[in-house]
Amino acid sequence: MGMEKWLLAGATVMAVLGGGLGILSLQRGQRSRWTLVCMLGAFLLQLGFLGIRGEQRGQCPLGDFGEILVFLAWSLVLFYLLVGPVYRVSLLGMFTAPLVAVFQLVALFPGMIDPAPEHVEFTDGWRETHSAFAVLSYGAFALAAVAGLMFIVLNRQLKGQQLGTGLFRNLPPVRNLVASVVRLATLGAGLLTIGVVSAFQMAEGAAGIHRNVAVVTWAAYLILLGVYFWRGITPKRLSLLVIVMFTLSLLVFAFV
Amino acid sequence: MEFVCLGLNHRTAPVDVRERVAVPEPNLGETCGRLRELKGVEEGVVISTCNRTEYYLVGENSGDVLAQLRGFLSEHAGAALGDEHLYARTAEEVARHLCRVVSGMDSMVLGETEVFGQTKRAYKAALEAGHTAGGLNKLFQRAFAVGKKVRTVTGIQVGQTSIGSVAVDLAEKIFGHLRDSRVMVLGAGEMSRITAQSLLSRGARSIFVANRTYDKAVELAEELGGEAVRFDAWQKVLEEVDVVISSTGAPHAIVRREHVREVRRKRRYRPLFFIDIAVPRDIDVGVGEIEEVYLYDIDTLEQIANEGRERREAQIKECDAIIEAELKKMGVIA
């Protein structure tokens, strides 16, 4: 196993550890400070993996499905590290860590990461821009979906008047969660706009189904945000939609 | 050198007795000085809150010090205090008692946090006035450390124990900081006033008061620093507010599902929190079925408050065990 896979395995262990410590702390009715530390560790190890793969390929490491998943997991952790502490969205790490771990575990499956990636001689700047921004946008969408899931859980507890759990006590307020969903979806839509525009500038042109799914995803998020800002939408519907849209939009990677 | 504590609290003395011996916070240091004038007293700290006044002293002989202290207290109260109102602690019992006080275990609302700060300020006043030395400095610093541990490790301060505080906690769970939240009060009753005041104390931005008798609405609005609204205009105000507290004396529901439905679009589907503390209820149950609405009635709030109280009471044994272990570790008790 090459160094990059060890780094990826290490990042996965850190994500599992971060999520596990978060859950254990929650059972005691507290928040785990170590989740953030573990996620920071995972982020650095992911950077190591992506750095080595980028060096091997001579371009942005998005050449196989495994790399795409790791890049996606990295952008998810990146936005968590940027958004979580700033907006005091506590527990976001505990909800994010399992998703990161799943993405990376799938990437670690045999055959997902090309053991001998081809080193390219010529790189298309537009292709690199498209790939990087598109995957970054998916990181933001993924985190919006995580915040949406947190809202659904909190909403259920508030509506059902089940207020005695450690999870309830530690979840951030409804308003903060909704604001996070909107900010992350807006950020993702902005990044995907750059991704989509650059796709149309690529020398080879964008591939058919992949392009169509990406454009539909982009349009869907823009419509959702338009509805939110123009006429408003209930927090529950907003959250459900960002979860469903992110899950469906993962289809785009099936057509890379 | 022996430790002594003499005091009275909400369990041993009614408010008319407690107020006679209460010491205003600015006078705490000076009172400690007067205590040190008693024969054989080396150090002194006075804690005085609305629920307790306690004297912590270090002296040569605890019996002598207690006898003098009783006299001092009666003099301060302007008349003799009955023994049934006072409790005395000596030796290691003083440390145990102080730890329970700072942990909120001796408070009227079990686990309340305010007493920790009040005790700290009382100790600081005595320290700055030069009335503490090795004995009480060590005792109080250790008690603060134990109090912190008790509050961190156990759930003694978790959950709310009154309807007002439960409502405020829920509002914060929905809206975060209440400084961006607007509140409407329907009905100018006492419970509305208390709950609205709790929300204001946590920073709620503005309050509208609607009442069938407009003059009462004006009166309460003035008291709360809010705005009075004619009762037939409350639905218009509903478009703007985040929290509605309702406690009218109406025999039927005031707020029905259609009232909220009509303003949903104008509210842009923002969350809306209804606190219904009226009996019979003012808010139709169907209102709570609207997606962005959170509806809590008086029974639910009372139940949550009861659960909070029970949860805190269940922690008492654990808190006492921590206090014992910590005091042993510190060598305060054998």
> A78-91: per-residue pLDDT in tens?
888 887 765 555 57
Residues in chain A: 256
Q: Do B268 and A164 touch (CB under 8 A)?
A: no
Q: In whole angstroms, what is the distance from residue A210 CA to residue A217 CA?
A: 11
Confidence of residue B135 (pLDDT cuts 50, 70, 90): very high
Domain of B215, CATH number, reads 3.40.50.720
Q: Point out the residue among B268, B269, B307 whose CB comes nearest to the CB of A164.
A: B307
Whether residue B39 is found in the same domain as residue B113: yes
Asked if B205 and B179 touch (Cβ cutoff 8 Å), the reply is yes
> Is B50 labeled as catalytic in the residue annotation?
yes
Domain boundary among A114, A143, A178: A114
Angle at A22 between CA A16 and CA A27, to 5 degrees: 125
Whether residue A165 is found in the same domain as residue A103: no
pLDDT score for A131: 83
pLDDT score for A87: 56
Domain boundary among A60, A85, A114: A114
With pLDDT > 70 as the criterion, what percentage of chain B qualifies? 100
Beta bridge partners of B46: B55
What number is the average pLDDT over the span B106-128? Answer: 92
Q: Which residue has the higher pLDDT, A205 or B37?
A: B37
Whether residue B199 is found in the same domain as residue B214: yes
Instruction: Give the Å distances, CA to CA, from B87 to B4, B73, B116, B319.
Output: 11, 12, 20, 22
Q: Do B292 and A236 touch (CB under 8 A)?
A: yes
Q: Which residue has the higher pLDDT, B91 or A254?
A: B91
Domain boundary among A114, A134, A153: A114
Q: Which residue has the higher pLDDT, B234 or A167?
A: B234
A159 at B interface, C-beta within 8 A: yes
Whether residue A227 is found in the same domain as residue A138: yes
How many Å from the N-terminal Cα to the C-terminal Cα in chain B?
17
- Token couple for B324: 């014992």
H helix and E strand count, chain B: 13, 10
Whether residue B12 is found in the same domain as residue B146: yes
Whether residue B322 is found in the same domain as residue B221: no
With pLDDT > 90 as the criterion, what percentage of chain B qualifies? 64
Confidence of residue A255 (pLDDT cuts 50, 70, 90): low
Mean of the per-residue pLDDT values of chain B: 91
pLDDT score for A229: 96
ipTM of the prediction greater than 0.85, yes or no: no
Whether residue A104 is found in the same domain as residue A225: no
Q: In whole angstroms, what is the distance from residue A162 CA to residue A167 CA?
A: 10
Q: Point out the residue among B268, B296, B304 whose CB comes nearest to the CB of A232.
A: B268
Whether residue A130 is found in the same domain as residue A230: yes
- Is the pLDDT at B279 greater than 90, yes or no? no
Whether residue B131 is found in the same domain as residue B273: no
Asked if A38 and A17 touch (Cβ cutoff 8 Å), the reply is yes
Whether residue B151 is found in the same domain as residue B177: no
Within-domain flag for B295: yes
- Is the pLDDT at B47 greater than 80, yes or no? yes
- Is the pLDDT at B202 greater than 80, yes or no? yes
User: Which range has the worst mean pLDDT, A146-160, A235-249, B14-28, B155-169?
Assistant: B155-169
Q: Are strands B206-211 and B182-186 parallel, antiparallel or unpaired?
A: parallel
Q: Which residue has the tokens 């009905």?
A: B187
Distance from CA of B11 to the nearest CA of A (A): 29
Which residues of chain A does B155 touch, with a Cβ-Cβ cutoff of 8 Å?
Answer: 29
User: Residue B62's CB: how many other CB atoms inside 10 A?
Assistant: 22
Whether residue A145 is found in the same domain as residue A193: yes
Confidence of residue A1 (pLDDT cuts 50, 70, 90): low
The separation between CA A31 and the C-alpha centre of its own chain, rounded to angstroms, equals 22
Within-domain flag for B27: yes
Whether residue A150 is found in the same domain as residue A179: yes
How does DSSP classify residue B9? Answer: E
Whether residue B47 is found in the same domain as residue B177: no
Within-domain flag for B202: yes
Q: Whole domain around residue A96: which residue ranges?
A: 1-114
Q: Do A235 and B307 touch (CB under 8 A)?
A: no
pLDDT score for A3: 87
pLDDT score for A88: 57
Whether residue A60 is found in the same domain as residue A153: no
- Is the pLDDT at B170 greater than 70, yes or no? yes
Whether residue A135 is found in the same domain as residue A101: no
With pLDDT > 90 as the criterion, what percentage of chain A qualifies? 48
Pick left, alpha or beta for residue A116 (phi over 0 → left; psi -120 to 50 → alpha; otherwise beta): beta
How does DSSP classify residue B208? Answer: E
Q: Are strands B243-246 and B182-186 parallel, antiparallel or unpaired?
A: parallel
- Report how many domains make up chain A: 2
Angle at A141 between CA A137 and CA A143, to 5 degrees: 115
pLDDT score for A89: 58
Q: Which residue has the higher pLDDT, B293 or B302?
A: B293
What number is the average pLDDT over the span B162-166? Answer: 85
Whether residue A101 is found in the same domain as residue A129: no
Q: What is the pLDDT of residues A163-186, one digit of tens each?
A: 878 788 888 899 999 999 999 999
A157 at B interface, C-beta within 8 A: no
Q: Do A235 and B288 touch (CB under 8 A)?
A: no
Q: Which residue has the higher pLDDT, A26 or B328?
A: B328
Confidence of residue A108 (pLDDT cuts 50, 70, 90): very high
pLDDT score for B276: 94
User: Residue B82's CB: how many other CB atoms inside 10 A?
Assistant: 12
How does DSSP classify residue B209? Answer: E
DSSP-H helix ranges across chain B: 15-21, 28-36, 62-77, 92-102, 114-128, 134-153, 163-175, 190-201, 214-224, 234-238, 257-264, 298-313, 316-329
Whether residue A137 is found in the same domain as residue A223: yes
Whether residue B25 is found in the same domain as residue B132: yes
- Is the pLDDT at B272 greater than 60, yes or no? yes
- Is the pLDDT at A48 greater than 70, yes or no? yes
A26, A163, A229: best mutation site toward chain B, by most B Cβ within 10 Å?
A: A163
- Report how many domains make up chain B: 2
Whether residue B152 is found in the same domain as residue B167: no
pLDDT score for A7: 95
Q: Whole domain around residue B72: which residue ranges?
A: 2-156+315-329
Write out residues 141-180 of B within 8 Å (CB-CB) of A: 155, 158-159, 170, 172-176
Whether residue B134 is found in the same domain as residue B34: yes
Whether residue B183 is found in the same domain as residue B266: yes
pLDDT score for B150: 93
Within-domain flag for B18: yes
- Specify the DSSP element, H or E, that contains A177: helix A174-201
pLDDT score for A207: 62
Instruction: Mention every residue, 6+ apart, whose C-beta is less than 8 A from residue A239.
Output: A147, A148, A149, A151, A152, A155, A177, A178, A181
For residue B26, say if its preceding peptide bond is cis, omega within 30 degrees of 0.
no
Whether residue B147 is found in the same domain as residue B178: no
Beta bridge partners of B244: B184, B274
